[in-house]
Amino acid sequence: MPISTALSDYLTTLSPERSILAQALLKHDWFKNTDVVLLQEILSLPEDYQGFLEDLASRPDEIGELDVLKLTKIGHGHFLILLVFEVRSNITNQIFTYEYASWKTGSRPGARGIIFLETDGIISHFLVSKMHKFSSTEEVLESIGGLYLHIFENKMQNLPKKIEEEICFHLGIENLKFKKIFDLGKAHPDFGMTNNVSDLYAAIIDISNLPNLTTKKDFRETHKPMGFELQIIHISEFKDYLNKIEDNYFLSAAARVIANPEIDIPL
């Protein structure tokens, strides 16, 4: 299917990197069937949407029994983008819409997991984050992670600074070092709503030779981190917290930890 003159003229204004993505998207009939105004909006998204655009270009034209016909609507904020597609059932020939949400960084938005503390070779504590969530309006307990956090060669890259500083404060150390980091695969938060999938990990910090954990009663009066609270929980309470925590990433990581023969959790 040929492209319109208006789109052809617009393509000449794109950067080399964005032009490559545009050519990949134009291989899809659903993209060429989309209104030119929407196409220009997609192709003019800021550079930090590059991961999303790469994912979009890799999507197939047929998904299960659905033929993807065209994009009909998009909406985006600072972090997320929502796309509405017109699709057709290749069984009933019925035409309707489907939609999904994505992080602007693409379908792999960082990593989440559980950090354990080890004393004399035995896991003694685990960490959870406590914070209010804008979407649910609730205060929740959740796994440790971040949008740009990644695990590479047994090292954490881009652990949020406020989390690193909070862990160091609790442990009475200046620099955070992990004894070992385990890649636990990945987990989808909601197949029906989003294409996103996060990497899962477990990490161990050896505290055998560190000062005692900060447990003084006036801790919250003298040290109040912004936006969240780090809690250090004794490993004897791990099972109880599995029934208390509703964060899917924490529960998924916990299941992989329990199933991993290299991680010995004294349950």
pLDDT digits (tens, 9 = 90+) for 58-72: 999 999 999 999 999
DSSP for 121-153, please give it.
TEEEEEEEEEEE-TTT-SEEEE-EEETT-EEET
Say if residue 120 is in the same domain as residue 96: no
Q: Which amino acid is at 134?
A: F
Say if residue 117 is in the same domain as residue 93: no
Say if residue 96 is in the same domain as residue 121: no
Could you say which of 84, 103, 122 is where a domain stops? 103
Quote the pLDDT of residue 244: 94
Say if residue 133 is in the same domain as residue 251: yes
Q: Which domain holds residue 47?
A: 5-103
Say if residue 72 is in the same domain as residue 116: no
Could you say which of 47, 69, 103 is where a domain stops? 103
Residue 264 lies inside a defined structural domain of this protein: no
Domain total of the chain: 2
Say if residue 156 is in the same domain as residue 181: yes
- Spell out, as residue ranges, where the chain has pLDDT lower than 50: 215-221
Quote the pLDDT of residue 156: 84
Say if residue 226 is in the same domain as residue 153: yes
**101-137 exposure pattern, b = at least 16 Cβ within 10 A, e = fewer:** ebbbbbbbbbbbbbbbbbeeeebbbbbbbeeeeeeee
Token readout for 80 is: 């997320």
Answer whether 0.95 is exceeded by the pTM: no
Closest by CA to 127, choosing from 139, 109, 112, 137, is 112
Place of tokens 């003084």: 216
pLDDT digits (tens, 9 = 90+) for 218-252: 444 455 555 778 888 999 999 999 999 999 999 99
Half-sphere exposure of 90 (CA within 13 A, CB side): 9
Say if residue 80 is in the same domain as residue 25: yes
Distance CA 61, CA 67 (A): 6
Quote the pLDDT of residue 220: 43
